Amino acid sequence: MSKNLTIKNKKLALVLKSKREERSLSQNKVADSLGISRSTYSRYELGERTPSLEFLINLSTYYCINPMELICALIPAKRLSYAPEYKNFKNYSNNDLSLSEQELLQNYNKLNPKQKEAINNLISTFL
C-alpha cells in the first residue's frame, strides 16, 4: 500500500470513528446495520481497508451526512473541484435533519432496490 493511500485512509478512518462516536454507537451496531462484519468495519476505522464508493454512500446515508464528506476524506479537494458531480450534492448535515428524518433515511437505506422504487412511487403520488 502506498504512503499516500495510507494517509488518505487514515483521514477517512478519523471521520468514520468521529461520526460513530458522535452518535454513541458501537462498531458492532454500525456493522450490523450496514450488513457487514464488525472486523470489516473496524478495518475501515483503522485505515487498513478502503470502502467502495457504493459503501461510502451507504455510510453517508446511515450517518445522515453529505456523501462528499466521506469522499473528500479520500480524494484531494483540488481534484474534486474539477468533477461536475461535486457541485450537485445537496449539503446537509445531521443537524439539519430531525431524529425522525434521520431514522427514515436509515430505514430507507435498508430497503432493497424494488422496495425503494415502491416507496419513491408512493411519495410521488403525494407530491
Ordered by start, the domain boundaries in the chain are: 3-96, 97-127
Question: What is the per-residue pLDDT for 28?
Answer: 95
Under CATH, to which class is 3-96 assigned?
mainly alpha
As to burial, measured by CB atoms within 10 angstroms (0-12 exposed, 13-18 middle, 19+ buried), residue 100 is exposed
Q: How far apart are CA 75 and CA 73, in angstroms?
A: 6
Per-residue pLDDT of the chain (127 residues; tens, 9 = 90+): 444 445 567 888 998 999 999 999 999 999 999 999 999 999 999 989 888 888 888 898 899 888 878 877 776 555 555 555 544 444 444 455 666 776 777 778 788 889 988 988 888 898 8
Q: DSSP characters for 78-109?
A: HHHTT-GGGGGS----GGGS-HHHHHHHHHHH
